[in-house]
Every structure is written in structure tokens, then in C-alpha cells.
Structure 1
Amino acid sequence: MKGQLYLIPNTLGESPIERNLPQETIDIIRSIKYYVVENIRTARRFLKKVDKSIEIDELTFYVLDKHTNPNDIPGFLKPINDGRHLGLLSEAGCPIVADPGADVVSLAHTQKIRIIPLVGPSSILLSVMASGLNGQSFAFNGYLPLKKGEVGKHIKHLEERSIREKQTQLFIEAPYRNMKLLQELINACRPQTRLCIACDITLETEYIQTKTIAQWKGKIPDINKRPAIFLILG
């Protein structure tokens, strides 16, 4: 009998496990001995935070990152075919969403493996919930282009799409570039466009605020090097 593939959420930062994961998710994590992870060191730290009694040396980790050879991925599912459960663990938030791992899940589907997504925090959904913007229609766009001169153009494109489709547009940036992106948003967007800045979601330092671009001018919060997600609605 085959095992199952569990999609395991992580916390969004150094917030308490019990605030982010229900007991059933914690119990399942305790029972799994095989994991697909992006980084073994941070995965070990997370598992010890879930339960200090977990014997890390008894676990097997498969690394899935930008250096992973695609030909190695089928081997990650061997424990499942041997009747063991496998956990696909995110670095932060929910697996697959703005996170690697889709190839593992896709392959599991072709092998008729049961895939079970577990409950946990998602910065995308939590920010939409708290933004006051359109939660009936929204699109996550990941990272914006890095090339000089392209960021402002892409922001204008997303703003136009937001106006045309009445759709909230979400995107993220590397934390150390947050302030630069905010300035690009102020410069590129129309004064009446609404911008939500959602930073440190689920942490004690959580900051979520929605204002028009005109209202943000000259009053940008310092979110340098803090995990954030940005939402606009024209």
C-alpha cells in the first residue's frame, strides 16, 4: 500500500507554532520520517520547534532547490511507493504557493499518489483578507522584474489590469529591496490607486495598512529587510 504526500506549511517567521498550525497538522508532522525540503538546516530547526522530542537523526531529507537535478525528483517519491508517508515542507507559509515543489506534486498525481494539503498560514490569503481590497478577484504576480527601468513599467501594467478587471494585484520583493519598490510604486501609480502594505504577517511586529498612493506620499513606513507583500487596486 502506498504512502501519502503531505504538503506541510511553515510559520511566516519566528512566531509561535500554536498560533500558526492546528494540532492535527502538528500530529501529522510528528509522524513523518521523510521530507522534501529546500534547506535542511532550516527544516531541522522548524521540526525541533514543532516538537523538541523529534529525533532529527532518524529523518531522511531530500533537497529541492534551484540546483536540484530534475532527474532526481522521481527518487523523492520512493518512500511513498515503499508504503511510507512523505512531507513536502515549505521554507515559509504554504508549499507550492510562491514556493518550489510543484514538480513533486505533479509527478505524484501521475503516480496516483494521494496528496493532502495541511492547514497553515499563507501570506497571500492573510494579506487579501486584511487589505480591504477586492477579495473576489485577485492575482499573485510573484517578484517584479529586476532590470532597471522595467519595474515602473510593470507596475503601471498591473495597475491598468487592476482597473480594467477590477482585480487586486499582489506581488512581493526581496526584503532588502522593499523601500526601493515602495518608491517605485509611489512614482508609478495614480494618486487614487489604493496600496496595501502587509509586513511581518503573524508576528508581534505585524503591520498591515491600506491607503491611496496620495496618502502614502511622504509617509512611507520603514519596512527595510522585513518580509512584506504588496497589494494594489486601481
Structure 2
Amino acid sequence: MKKQKSYKDETGKLYLIPTPIGNLEDMSVRGVKILDAADLIASEDTRNTQKLLNHFDIAAEQKSLHEHNYKQRIPEFLKLLKQGKTIAQVSDAGMPSISDPGQELVTACIQEEIAVISLPGPTAGLTALIASGLTAQPHYFYGFLPRKKNEQQNELKNLVTMKATLLFYESPNRLKNTITNMTEVFHEQRQAVICRELTKIHEEYLRGTLSELKEYLNETPIKGECCLLVEGQIEQEKENSQTLQEPLKVQVERLITEGFKPNTAIKEIAKQNGLKKQVVYNDYHDLKQS
């Protein structure tokens, strides 16, 4: 167990600073003050952060911290922090470490017992959620789904029975394909919301069923940063799963006819149904449960 006292004067501090997701006026007063006073700013992209610093007349030094250089940068930053320096970490937009780089530095600081202090502020997922009209509690933040169709559909199958509102980030170029996959895995009448260009002048909410949004995207390409929110499992899906679910043995046999080895098929069906492998194994081999 480790206990953190965030404001001990004798140690350096890592501040996690949220930055605006579009509108620069969403930057907090406290965030500006800490960026201005920091000995160093660790930025996902120094060019992007420099625009923010110029807007608020901040002259602090920057160094990049991203997925390609964090192994090199972290020892440098730890050395400065141990010397009592203050480092402010930012991503290009929103909260550091939420679908952005930064978690590795946080973990390293915690291991070295260096204070990690996060500020509240802009985050696209929750900003979209509270205006979506979908149930805010409970909700489940997923972030970016896999890009390949099979991998994406497998992830969606793992989420299909969740009752929480689901939050995703998605590229506008992939959004149509993602919603098409959702209509195949989820019930097409689930309510969903596309939130586009949050806090910017072209902010837009598209609310409807998955089927309606799919039809809209087939006719109307969209641009800009997107959040996609989908309601949790609906009653029609529960009824369908109870009345149309194939017996486990039939599911296994279908995979075997598709070329799976028996043990691999059993393992896959267990995963799809949220069961232990032994349960499916026993059912397939007509063995009594002990």
C-alpha cells in the first residue's frame, strides 16, 4: 500500500491538465496557472499544445511525450521530478490517458512515490453523455473499437448484454462501418446518438435508432471528431436471447463444420456465452454436471 500526500513541498509533482476539446474558453483558470508555473510541459504534440500556450501567453518549455518516445522520456522526467521540478502533462485535447498517451508516466511516478495530481476538466465522452438523452448511470466507456470487422464484432458481442449506456470514440471515416456492425450484433432498434464536433461552432447531435443512423450515414457523409453512444441491452434482445438461443452443442457443432477443432470451438462458444469452458465441454460430450 502506498499513501500519497499530494501537496508535500519537498517533492516534485506531476499535474495532469485537461485541455479544451474544441472551444479554448473551456480551459480552466487553475489549468492556465499551473501550465504557466510549470518547469516543463509534457505534450502529446508540442505543435498542437503551442497554439494553446500562445492563446494564454504561456512561455513554459515543452517536451513531447507520446507512444513512440515514452521509454526514452520517462527516465528524463523522473529525474526532474526527483529534483523537485513541476511537470504538467497534457494531451492534444481533453484528459490525458483517456484514449491518449500518458498512462506510462503516471504509473512510473506512482512507483517512485512522486505525487500525481489530476485536474477536472473537459472530456468528450461525458460531455456527450449528459446531453445525449440516454441513461447516464450506469455507463461504460470503451473508447476506440478495433478496426478490423471480425475483431470489432467480437468485441461488440462481449458488450451485447450490458445494460449500461455504451460510450465509444470513432473516426468519421469508420463511423458508418462501425454502426453497420452494431446493427448486426445489437438490436437495430437500440437508441443511439452521434455527437459531432463537440464545443465547436458545428456541434451536432444525431439521435435515433441504430437502423436510422445507419440509413442516414449511407446518404450523408459526416466530418469532424465523433462520439458514439448506444443504449444498453433492450427487452427485445433479452426475449430473443431466451427464445432463439441455440443449444450449446449445436453452437459448437456449427463452428466445427466451419473448420474449428473441437476444443477450440468449445472455448469460443464458452467465451461467446459467458460460460466456463467446462460447462460447454460437458454439454457437448453429454456429460452430467458434478
Does TM, scored on the shorter chain, surpass 0.5?
yes
Deviations 1:166-191 (A, max 9, x none): 11111122233223333433454323
Task: State the 1:153 CA deviation.
Answer: 4.5
With over 3 angstroms needed to count, the CA separation of the structure-2 counterparts of 1:8 and 1:112, relative to structure 1, is same
1:95 alignment partner AA: P
Show the counterpart of 2:36. 30
Alpha-carbon distance in 1 for matches of 2:201, 2:89: 27
- Larger of the two Rg values belongs to structure: 2
Aligned to 1:10: 19
Map of 2:59 onto structure 1: 55
Work out which of the residue numbers 205, 216, 219 in structure 1 matches 2:216.
219
In structure 2, what residue type is equivalent to 1:67? H
Stretch of structure 1 that moved more, 20-29 or 174-183: 174-183
Kindly provide the CA deviation profile for residues 73-114 of structure 1, in whole angstroms up to 9, marking residues without a partner as x.
Answer: 122122222222101111111111111111111111122222
Distance in 2 of aligned mates of 1:214 and 1:176: 18
Q: Secondary structure at the match of 1:124?
A: helix
SS at match of 1:161: coil
The structure, 1 or 2, with the larger RCO (C-alpha pairs under 8 Å, 6+ apart) is: 1
The alpha-carbon deviation at position 216 of structure 1 amounts to: 3.2
Please list, as runs of the form range in 1=range in 2, the aligned pairs for 1:153-172 lying within 5 A after superposition: 153-158=154-159, 160-162=160-162, 166-172=163-169
Deviation at 1:140, TM superposition (A): 1.7
For 2:280, the equivalent position in structure 1 comes to none
Detail structure 1 runs of 4+ shifted over 4 Å in the superposition. Answer: none
| Distance (whole Å) between structure 2 residues aligned to residue 173 and residue 35 of structure 1 | 28
After superposition, the CA RMSD in angstroms is 2.2
The verdict on how the C-alpha distance between 1:217 and 1:91 changes in structure 2, with shifts beyond 3 A counting, is closer
Residue ranges of structure 1 left out of the alignment (5+ in a row)? none
Structure with the higher fraction of residues in helix conformation: 2
User: What amino acid does structure 1 have at the position aligned with 2:181?
Assistant: E
Counting aligned pairs with the same residue, the percent is 29
- CA spacing shift, 1:69–1:12, aligned 2, 3 Å: closer
The yes-or-no answer on 1:205 pairing with 2:197 is: no
Q: Evaluate the alpha carbon distance shift between residue 193 and residue 174 of structure 1 in structure 2; reply closer, same or farther with a 3 A threshold.
A: same
Q: For the structure 1 residues 223 and 32, does the alpha-carbon distance in structure 2 shift closer, same or farther, using more than 3 Å as the test?
A: farther
Provide the C-alpha distance between the structure 2 equivalents of 1:217 and 1:82, rounded to a whole number of angstroms: 55
